[in-house]
Every structure is written in C-alpha cells, then in structure tokens.
Amino acid sequence: MKMLAPLAGKHNVTDFEALCKSFEWSHMEREFSWFTTGKVNAAYEAVDRHAENPAKSDQLALIYQDGDTEEKWTFAQLKNRSNQAANMLKSLGVTKGDRVFLFMPRCPDFYASFFGILKNGAVAGPLFEAFMEQAVEDRLKDSGAKVLITTAELLPRVKRENLPDLKEIIVLDCEPADDLHDYEKLMNAASTAFEPVWLDKEDGMLLHYTSGSTGKPKGVYHAHRAMIQHYATGKWVLDLQESDVYWCTADPGWVTGTSYGIFGPWLNGATNVIAGGRFTPEAWYKMIEKHKVTVWYTAPTALRKLAAAGDEVAHSFDLSSLRHVLSVGEPLNPEIIYWAEEVYGKRIHDTWWMTETGAMLIVNHPTLPIKPGAMGKPIPGVEAAIIDDAGNVLPPHQSGNLAVKAGWPSMMKTIWGNQEKFDSYFINGWYVSGDSAKMDEDGYFWFEGRLDDVINTSGKLVGPFEVESKLIEHPAVTEAAVIGKPDEERGEIIKAFITLDKGHLDSIELREEIRLFIKKGLSAHAAPREIEIVSSIPKTRSGKIMRRLLRAKELGLPLGDTSTLEE
Ligand code: PRX
C-alpha cells in the first residue's frame, strides 16, 4: 500500500493521535464566547464576535466574484448588513423557531440574510437555486416555511397557492407586486443595530433536505451546538488560520456550503471566497489565482472535470497560493490524488460525512499520511466502526455498515416532523450511515458504496422515489423505476426504466421530452441521462420496486435472490 507523506508545514494541530487520546468535546466549548457569557447564537460567534474585535473588524470576511462583478465585505460590514436583514425579518413578524427559507443564487446578500435569520433565533432553510417547482414546493410545505427570500427570476417556481403556511415573500432585484416585499427597500429602512436573540445550544438553526431511498426528501434539522464541530474541524482539518483565504466550492443549498461555506471559515475568522456563476475550469482557476486562495475545499466530480480539461489549462494559471486542498461528497479516486500532486503540487485530502452528521467525521487530517483511496480516520471525539446489521462491531477488513457512536456535537437534532425516521438511524447507540465500508489494520476507513438505493450523481444525492413520482406524472408514463449507473466523471448517472401508456410509442423525442419534464419540474441534476422503455417494472409481491434487480441486470451482475419477485 502506497502511503503519501502528511502535508508539509506548520499546522493548528501537530499531533493528531495525541489529540484523539486526550480529547473531550467539552474542552472545545471553552473557545466560544458563550462559554463565559452563556449567550448562545452561532451568528454572533461567526460574525459579530470578529466585528467587535478592533483588530479584526476591518479584515475581509467575504470576497464575492461572479464574472466581472466583485464585492468585498469586512467583518464589520457583514455584521451591519446581517443586522439589517435581522431587523427586516423581525419587522415582518419573524420570531424564534420560525422557518425562513432562502432561494437565490450565491451572492453576498444570501449570507447577510442567512445570519439575519439566525440572529432572530429562526431556522434557516437554504434551497439550491437549480430546484424547480416540485422540489421547492416539497421543501417549503414539509417545513411549514413562514417567510421566503428569493429573486424575481426564481419567484415563478414558488407555487404560493399550495403553501398555506408561507406568509411573506421578500424579493431581491426588482420592485415586486403589491402583496410581496421589496428586499432593497426593507433593507434600506432597517437599522444596522440588532441584539441577537440569545438561545440554547439545542435550539434549531438550520434545515437541509436530503434524499432517502423511500419517500420525499427529509428535513435534516440542525441545532446551534453544531458550531462546536464546524469550528473544530475548520481548525483541525481545513487547518484554517485567520490569515487564510479559503474557498469552498459547494453551494449553500447543500450542507457542505453551510457547514464549510459559512461556519467553518467564519468561526475561525478566515476570509471566505464566494464564487457566483457557473463552473468552467478557467473561471475556477482564475478564482484561485486572483484571490490567492490558500485553502480549497471541493469535490471529486469537479476535480475530475478539471483533470479532463487538461494540464495545460491548470498550468496557464498561477496556483502557487494553494497550501491545502480537500474533497468531500463522493469517492475520491486515487488517480485524482496522483494527478493533483503532479499538476497542482498538492495532495487532495479526502473527508467523509453526511447532511445528517452536520460536519466531518472521518478525514485525512493534515498531519496524517494519506492512503490514496481511503477516506482517512475519525476526528478526535468521534468513534467510528464497521458493524453488522445487529449492531456488533466487525473486525478489520470486513465489509459492513459504516457507523459512528452517537454523541458528536453536529449530529442532527431530528428529522423535521418525523422522529420515527430519526430513531431508525440508530442501532445499539450507533448512528448507521447507510454507507458500506471497511476499516484496515491502521484504522483507516475505505468506502465501498451505498447500502440503499440512493444515487450519488456528481456528489448530489438523489432519491429514486422522488424521480419516479415525478416521472409518472408525465402523461406517457405509467410506471417508473430509477437507478444509479456508474459513470467515470459523475460517479453515477440516473437511469430510468419506464412503461408507456397505451397510445404512446417509444421515440427519441418522447424520451427527451420526459427527461426535460424532470429537469423543468424537479431539478437538472435529478433528470435521467438514460431512459429505457420496458414492458414491466420488477416488483415484490407487496408492490415494492426491485431496483436492485434492474441495477444487477444493467451492470451484468448476478440477479441474487428473486424469491420475492411478483409473478
Ligand atoms: O455515500 C456517502 C457520500 O455522500 C453521502 C452523504 O451525502 P450528503 O448527505 O449529500 O452529504 C455530502 C457532503 C457531506 C455519504 O453517505 N460521501 C460523502 N463523502 C464521501 C462520500 N463517499 C465517499 N467518500 C467520501 N469522502
């Protein structure tokens, strides 16, 4: 097994193994101001605390770049602007515990609004800007969102008639209709002074929806205590220093974009780069070159696309500012680690975690030698193991459920409105991830795959049920089953099997129409890249779709147990 040496240079933590031994989460709490004041609010710790420190208030908190548009805010400016947002929301009746959703492209005001929500003690629900009608409705309805902040462009995707709880909509970028609120007008009228609502660590902060194998996406509900781990992993794993210019490429509509696009960097007082616009290799490299990014947190699909763009593209930019590069969300193939080492002169450090876990759990810590292909080891304060379905810990080298002992600070509070679902994650005090993995003799964890039908396409989880439900809304489709099919660049792509209603004939046009139906109704990343017309969908006698069979057939694998298959 090839081992790559740890990251060179000085780090926040020099002896990872020693820290793991003596560590207790309560020690970490001493580093927050609420440890002495008793006043809890993650927005205060991430923004106001720095803004109130004369030595830091004028440091850049945020650098935003989208094409030629550039905006820079200091911590003081971020505090003022988020206070205005907090006052704006308060004036519309937002109080503690209310769900306030954000549906807008990445821009500085997203972050001001996000903190404005938290400062009111309300719960922020960020929606990925590529979500279409159905995806938006499912999330706003399930959460009972009271207020939405959106843009004129995205507003038509919000079907208000189906959302009785949604009382107020604030619109950026235009003068909206009379029954809506103008963001700019409200912000201009709002004071820059706001005393955050002081909370308990257990109070709710954030809702992120994630896909499961059954049912609609579920609302993963996080509490303010998650900041303890956001801060700790930002310090240990991202290795953030206050002088760092950090860039997390994830959108805040996904958990990486909040835990590490907001909390990790700002709790650690770093300068946070925010990229607007779409991905192109040139735009991304330019971002690193122009802003002298030092720490970069990205994803395997993006790295594979950058590698596919060719080494010359990378070499035509000055990437020498980079000192630490990390990845999350999908298996990081060793070839990409070797490629990055050659082309960037940097190794990629993999990290493993989930929406539900709120923050990193298994990582290639900067001082840990990298075993390419392994996700690394548990962070201090976290115990991970491979367990069987009865909750027994398995010895090294055996495949099983990747599980983590409950009790880390960023663990979700619950699944919104579904405590039963939350409880179903646990066996014998172990949180069961749904991933299958192995542990080796050195305690490194090796990812093997998902144990359920959830699809990971370009690092985004897609629940087959969601896509299937939308597919059968198309007039030509009677039944549908959706699987993930391995793909070199995207990890997996979505393949749909459908049966056609009488009167509809298979054609390239029809399949394209059905694909667009999902793209426009749900979201682009959930649209099947392949559609196959079949005469029937395999189901169990109790009517459950046997996606496992379709996947085995598609990949030419043994069909396994078919005894429950309906005649
Ligand atoms: O299957 C694992 C995969 O992504 C899932 C979690 O997805 P999500 O909740 O959207 O959060 C993604 C970002 C935290 C996991 O159950 N996954 C995540 N990280 C890795 C990974 N698969 C392999 N290697 C990783 N490093």
Q: How confident is the model at residue 513 (pLDDT cuts 50, 70, 90)?
A: very high
Q: Is the dihedral of CA 300, 306, 312, 317 positive or negative?
A: negative
Which residue, judged by its Cα, is nearest atom 11 of ligand 1?
354
Q: Which DSSP category does 108 fall into?
A: H
Exposure string of 129-140, with b = 16+ CB inside 10 Å and e = fewer, is: bbbbbbbbbbbb
Whether 435 and 466 map to the same domain: the answer is: no
**Probe target for ligand 1 pocket from 330, 333, 425, 452, with the most ligand atoms within 8 Å of CB:** 330
Which phi-psi region, left, alpha or beta, contains residue 409 (left: φ > 0; alpha: ψ -120 to 50)?
alpha
Q: What share of the chain is helix, strand, coil (3-state, %, to 5)?
A: 30, 25, 45
Q: Please report which helix (H) or strand (E) contains residue 438, including its range.
A: strand 430-439
Give the CATH number, domain containing residue 546.
Answer: 3.30.300.30
Structure confidence by residue, pLDDT tens digits, 514-542: 999 999 999 999 999 999 999 999 998 88
Q: Which residue has the higher pLDDT, 441 or 18?
A: 441
In the reported structure, the alpha carbon of residue 330 is separated from the centroid of ligand 1 by a whole-number distance in angstroms of 5
Q: Per the domain annotation, does 560 fall within a domain? A: no
Q: Is the pLDDT of residue 215 over 90?
A: no
Query: Pick from 407, 439, 471: which residue ends a domain?
Result: 439
Average pLDDT over residues 147-156: 97
Does the residue 563 lie in any domain? Answer: no
At 8, is the pLDDT very low, low, confident or very high (cuts 50, 70, 90)?
confident
What residue ranges line ligand 1, CB within 6 angstroms?
Answer: 210, 255-256, 328-332, 350-355, 375, 433-435, 447, 450, 456, 461
Terminal C-alpha separation, the chain: 48
What tokens were used for 123? Answer: 């719960």
480 and 528: one domain?
yes
Q: What are the beta bridge partners of residue 220? A: 208, 415
Yes or no: say if 130 and 525 are a contact pair by the CB < 8 Å rule.
yes
Residue 284 alpha carbon to ligand 1 centre in Å:
23
pLDDT at residue 17 greater than cutoff 90: no
Out of 402, 458, 461, give the residue to mutate to test ligand 1, the one with the largest number of ligand atoms within 8 Å of its CB: 461
Is 421 in the same domain as 499?
no
pLDDT band at 567 (very low <50, low <70, confident <90, very high): low
Atom 6, ligand 1: residue with shortest CA distance: 354
Position 51 pLDDT exceeds 70:
yes
In this structure, the residue with its CA closest to atom 18 of ligand 1 is 329
- Which residue minimizes the CA distance to atom 15 of ligand 1? 354
Q: What is the pLDDT of residue 2?
A: 77
The answer to whether residues 431 and 406 touch, using CB atoms and an 8 Å cutoff, is yes
Which structural domain, as residue segments, surrounds residue 48? 16-439
Does residue 3 belong to any structural domain of this protein? no
State the pLDDT at residue 14: 82
pLDDT surpasses 70 at 389: yes
Average pLDDT over residues 121-146: 98
Q: How far is CA 545 from CA 42, 212, 214, 421, 477, in A?
A: 43, 15, 11, 21, 16
Instruction: Report d(CA 492, CA 500) in Å as an integer.
Output: 25
Residues 425 and 499 in one domain: no
Question: Which structure tokens are listed for 463?
Answer: 């629940």
Could you tell me the CATH number of the domain that includes residue 326? 3.40.50.12780
> Ligand 1 test: best mutation among 211, 229, 353, 410, most atoms within 8 Å of CB?
353
Give, as one character, the DSSP assignment of residue 241: -
The reply to whether 361 and 463 lie within a common domain is: no
Element holding 340 (H helix, E strand): helix 334-343
Q: How many CB atoms lie within 10 A of CB 391?
A: 15
Pair (84, 177) in one structural domain: yes
Shared-domain flag, residues 354 and 247: yes
SS (H, E, C) 57-93: CCCEEEEEEECCEEEEEEHHHHHHHHHHHHHHHHHCC
Sheet holding 530-533, edge to edge: 477-487, 491-500, 530-533
Distance 349 CA to ligand 1 centre (A): 14
Question: From the CA of 342, how far away is ligand 1's center (Å)?
Answer: 26
Assigned domain for 7 exists: no
Q: What is the C-alpha to C-alpha distance for residues 123 and 352, in angstroms, rounded to an integer?
A: 25
Same domain, 210 and 304: yes
> What was the pLDDT predicted at 168?
98
| Domain match, 418 and 475 both | no
Average pLDDT on 327-345 reads 96
CA of 189 to the centre of ligand 1 (A): 42
Q: Is 282 found in the same domain as 146? A: yes
**Nearest Cα to 462, choosing from 433, 483, 487?**
483
Candidate from 237, 298, 354, 370 with most ligand 1 atoms within 8 A of CB, to mutate: 354
Query: Where do we find the tokens 């995207």?
Result: 490
Rg (CA), the chain: 23
For the CA of 220, the nearest atom of ligand 1: 9
6 in Cβ contact with 16 (< 8 Å): no
- In the reported structure, the alpha carbon of residue 328 is separated from the centroid of ligand 1 by a whole-number distance in angstroms of 7
> Does 307 share its domain with 195?
yes
* 130 C-alpha to ligand 1 centroid (Å): 20
Domain closes at, from 388, 410, 439: 439
Question: CA 111 → CA 58, 75, 168, distances in Å?
Answer: 18, 12, 19
Q: What percent of the chain has pLDDT over 70?
A: 100
Instruction: Classify 278 as helix, strand or coil.
Output: coil
Residue of 356, 456, 523 best suited for mutating to test ligand 1, as the one with most atoms within 8 Å of CB? 456
Nearest atom within ligand 1 for CA of residue 254: 10
Does residue 156 lie in a domain region?
yes
* Number of independent structural domains in the chain: 2
Model's pTM, two decimal places? 0.96
> pLDDT for 203-212, tens place per residue?
999 999 999 8
Q: Do 59 and 192 reside in the same domain of the chain?
A: yes
Q: Mean pLDDT score of the chain, rounded to an integer? A: 96
